[in-house]
């Protein structure tokens, strides 16, 4: 059974009081909506994770981290280990293109992070992304195969396809382009590694300039199981709307 997700990545935004106000607004907006088939995940900045998780305590909204260390414990100043998050976070974003670019994270480091997340019982949301290049397929396949090289069972895995040029630019990819990349590149690569069923069951999200007006066009594509939202997740009304649209698009299918 496929899972559908709406994931909000707050990135390095919000003060503590803004984070609490935003979380409370999302909770109020979604509290009365029952969406058993759509998992909502909020990924606040590290310092606000505990306070935000308290707001969502009695709800179905889960908490995710935006990153974890590739190491498990020890003298790694400033790093946060998966085991430190596992009581609070059920999800973690790994390999976001902003980290691949500005923190120079490579496929090998990202692969280690996926292992530490899974060992700590946290579901990795592995981001795969490409710049406008002539070898989209090759770049994405390599990102997938190297991130999963030490993962035998992908049952916890979620993949988010996010073209670099679409992130934060207001210029999303076209829904049919995204569906094509998922159908012809991402899922076949998962199938090659794990076989038909695990590949079919892995949720694949799209991220990059999604808002409440364009979300439905993406959600209507069978190949896409949800969205990873940056800017739209900072606006509680937009975020809740997109979560509801996900339920509407996917539950009727």
Give 55 or 232: the residue with its C-beta nearer to ligand PGA: 232
- Which helix (H) or strand (E) segment is 206 a member of? strand 204-207
Cβ proximity of 246 and 219 under 8 Å: yes
CB of 141 to ligand PGA, least distance (A): 21
Could you tell me the two tokens for 114?
């996926």
List, in sequence order, every residue forming a beta bridge with 127; answer none if it has no partner: 160
Give 138 or 168: the residue with its C-beta nearer to ligand PGA: 168
158 in helix, strand or coil? strand
Cβ proximity of 48 and 16 under 8 Å: yes
Cβ proximity of 113 and 69 under 8 Å: yes
Please report whether residue 30 would count as binding ligand PGA according to CB under 6 A: no
Q: Which of 229, 243, 245, 247 binds ligand PGA (CB under 6 A)?
A: 229
Q: Which of 111, 154, 163, 208 binds ligand PGA (CB under 6 A)?
A: 208
Query: For 46-203, where are the E strands, in sequence order?
Result: 62-65, 91-94, 123-128, 158-161
Q: Which stretch binds ligand PGA (CB under 6 A): 62-70, 73-81, 174-182, 225-233?
A: 225-233
CB of 18 to ligand PGA, least distance (A): 17
Q: Which of 53, 109, 231, 238 binds ligand PGA (CB under 6 A)?
A: 231
**Which residues would be at the binding site for ligand PGA (CB under 6 A)?**
9, 162, 167-168, 207-210, 228-232
């Amino acid at each position: 059974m496929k899972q559908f997700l709406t994931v909000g990545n707050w990135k390095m935004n919000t003060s503590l009081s803004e984070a609490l106000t935003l979380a409370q607004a999302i909770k109020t907006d979604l509290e009365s909506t029952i969406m058993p088939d759509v998992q909502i995940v909020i990924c606040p900045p590290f310092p606000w994770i505990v306070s935000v998780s308290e707001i969502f305590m009695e709800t179905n909204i889960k908490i995710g981290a935006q990153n974890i260390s590739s190491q498990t414990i020890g003298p790694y100043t400033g790093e946060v280990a998966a085991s430190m998050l596992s009581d609070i976070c059920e999800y973690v974003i790994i390999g976001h293109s902003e980290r691949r670019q500005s923190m120079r994270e490579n496929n090998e480091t990202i692969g280690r992070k996926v292992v530490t997340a899974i060992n700590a019982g946290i579901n990795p949301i592995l981001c795969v992304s490409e710049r406008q290049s002539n070898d989209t397929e090759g770049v994405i396949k390599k990102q997938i195969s190297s991130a999963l090289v030490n993962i035998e069972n992908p049952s916890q895995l979620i993949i988010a396809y996010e073209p670099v040029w679409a992130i934060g630019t207001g210029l999303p990819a076209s829904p049919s382009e995204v569906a094509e990349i998922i159908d012809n590149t991402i899922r076949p690569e998962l199938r090659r590694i794990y076989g038909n069923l695990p590949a079919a069951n892995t949720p694949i999200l799209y991220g990059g300039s999604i808002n409440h007006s364009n979300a439905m066009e993406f959600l209507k594509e069978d190949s896409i199981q949800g969205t990873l939202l940056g800017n739209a997740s900072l606006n509680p009304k937009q975020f809740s709307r997109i979560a509801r649209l996900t339920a509407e698009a996917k539950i009727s299918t």
